Amino acid sequence: LRVAGNDDLSARISRRHFEVRRTPTGFAVIDLSKAGLTRNGRPVPRGEVVPLADGDVLGVAGVVSLEVRVTGPETMVAVVPG
């Protein structure tokens, strides 16, 4: 994930900043970063599996927000709101 034209902001985002996993009940996110990840404005504890729902907003290092869209039991996408 990169911020076009802004290397300083891009540097805050890790190569493996977070991971999305499919679980038996849906999807979950795991923060793997040092810079932090938020879900709906609340910090995601580093290394913990946190469930995701349609409409959740992930904040990546305070740099970019991604809106979670669950389109089916096995399909999830993240889009930049706006």
What one-character-per-residue DSSP string does 21-62 give?
A: EEETTEEEEEE--SS-EEETTEEPPBT-EEEE-TT-EEEETT
pLDDT in tens, 13-46: 777 889 999 999 889 999 999 889 999 999 999 9
pLDDT in tens, 62-73: 788 889 988 877
Please classify residue 7 by burial: count the beta carbons closer than 10 Å to its beta carbon, then call 0-12 exposed, 13-18 middle and 19+ buried: exposed
What's the rounded Cα separation, in Å, for the pair 59 and 43? 9
